[in-house]
Structure 1
Amino acid sequence: MGNRGPAGIGGVLRNELREVFWAFAGPLGEEDAIEYEVQAVHHGLRLVSREGIDNVIVEGDSLNVIRWLRGPQKPPWRFDNLFDKMFDLVKPLSAAFNHARRSAGWSC
């Protein structure tokens, strides 16, 4: 499933003014692209939980991952464990899940 190769994850946490207050990045080894997307969201949700943030908007560029988080579409079985952990992290939060599409004017 997806392209395999060495890569990593990364993300940013922003406040309501869209100011970055936390960023993370790191290697994961050699998996496929969708694995990296799921791992990045999981890591971000763990940070949110640890910091005591209770209102969160998760934006990701993987439409599949966002759909799986929104439900009712279920993720592939190999992600069941990670999604169970993410849903446990999200339960006490006010959370929204948005697909962030890249446009011609968007840059990192």
Structure 2
Amino acid sequence: MLAKTLPQTAEVSNWSTAWVGLDAVLAVGLSGTGLLLGRHDPRAAPLAAATAALLLMDAWFDVITAAPGSARAAALALALCAELPLAAACAAVAARPAGPPTAR
């Protein structure tokens, strides 16, 4: 239903703000996951799961919204070489068994 009813194109306000905001959230998620992993903190798993989901979404929208040609090729290369491998790494962190919390 959506595929038939949504417009093929749309003009969007604050497009760059939306993408910069998503990239900032990804940076926080990746940094936070790394920090929590370094501390052996079990909260790394849910943060890694959320970050993996956002990375998949980012890769999808980057590729789908890129203009045909070199822009789409660059988006696809970034997805295959950076976003998808990072998502897989985050998913692996999220899926591993949680150890006992460390004393602080």
With structure 2 as the length reference, what TM-score do the two structures score?
0.38
Bigger RCO of structures 1 and 2 (CA < 8 A, at least 6 apart): 2
More strand by share: 1
Bigger proportion of residues as helix: 2
TM-score relative to the length of structure 1: 0.37
When Rg is computed on C-alpha atoms for both structures, the one with the higher figure is: 2
